Amino acid sequence: MNKKDITVNKLKSLGEIILEDVEKNSVPAIKVPSRGTSNIVYDEDKRYYVLGDRYGRRSLGNVKQISKIAQMVYVANFCKDLVRRGKTATLREMYYVSEGWDVEFGDQQESNIVGEDLEVTLGMTREDLGLMPEEDGASVYGNITIQDDDVEINALKAGKSGYTISPTIDEVQFVDHDVKRVIAVETMGMFHRMVQEDAYNKFDTLIVGLKGQAARATRRFLKRVNEELKLPVYIMNDGDPWGFHIAMVIISGSAKLAHVNHQLATPDAKFIGVTASDIINYDLPTDPLKDIDVLRLKELSKDPRYRDEAWQMEIKKMLKIGKKAEQQSFSKYGLEYVVDTYLPEKLEQME
């Protein structure tokens, strides 16, 4: 049975559960895994957040839950139609399509949450269900050839902006590659700097421009190249708590997506910098930490994903110096410095 048939059958099973209860003269109910904070657990062995074993029960016998079940059934039926026809829809499109349904959503956030309820209930990703986010995936530049439907694309020949990761990245096949590692950078400014300075050749690397917080498709791409192609993944972000967080979501996933972290997290990925130590060692231009930065750093220090001694040291050091730095701050020493000096030194330390 192919993935499409599996998805359709799982979606149909939601309605069959309700029908079976009706035939038994029982009040129809659906079990939905709890996504409350008390049911989100950091798994030390897997090195990412997972859902615990608690479930909620949505019953048509509870007046307050009738609309919730109706919303889930409508969304499931919409997704079943998408998958059967080989189509996709953005979350925004689904929200507007729902305007013609006999159930209502207060706003798009409410319909998004129902989509997440559906994926956690069925044990499938929203992308499997045909639902796509609005944001693009990252840009990839380097010598890798992928096949998307019947088209082969080499990311080294797709223009200076590279190949844009598809939201349906699981349907993409890796045909060939000639690289030894992957370097993901937070900003497109750094992505283009690395392309211009021939970093893909100097380091035998794929360059991935994250565009800020990495989209789900980007995280899935990084996990796939790490596991399927055995390529080490390195992350270079701004030297501030937000850059730390962007890196950690790639490495250990997020609490919000605990139900799909097994498909998104890349626990063996490594954070190159910019670290607090880099700020000191390279005498980088800085900005003072704001109150919100300090608060966020203190939150990170208590987060189980940052228990590692190296992370704790960098967080404490940043709090001590009271400064942060952008990844472009290496330009103080010339545009080429980050590729000619910083990255070679850091990669040598880490490899």
Active site (annotated) includes residue 200: no
Backbone φ and ψ of 214, nearest 5°: -65, 130
Tell me the C-alpha distance between 89 and 136, whole Å.
14
Tell me the C-alpha distance between 228 and 221, whole Å.
10
216-239 burial by CB neighbour count: b if 16+ within 10 A, else e? Answer: bbbbbbbbbbbeeeebbbbbbbbb
Among the listed residues 137, 144, 179, the one whose alpha carbon sits nearest the alpha carbon of residue 158 = 144
Cα distance between the two ends of the chain: 42
In 60-214 the beta strands, taken as DSSP E runs, fall at 89-90, 131-132, 139-141, 144-148, 151-154, 163-164, 173-177, 181-185, 205-209
Backbone φ and ψ of 96, nearest 5°: -70, -35
* 11 within 8 A of 83, measured Cβ to Cβ: yes
Cα dihedral sign, 109-82-29-119: negative
At 178 the three-state DSSP class reads coil
Tell me the C-alpha distance between 154 and 162, whole Å.
9
Tell me the C-alpha distance between 313 and 271, whole Å.
14
Tell me the C-alpha distance between 14 and 121, whole Å.
9
Tell me the C-alpha distance between 293 and 238, whole Å.
13
Identify the active-site residue in 42, 74, 96, 200: 96
Among the listed residues 99, 95, 107, the one whose alpha carbon sits nearest the alpha carbon of residue 134 = 95
Active site residues: 96
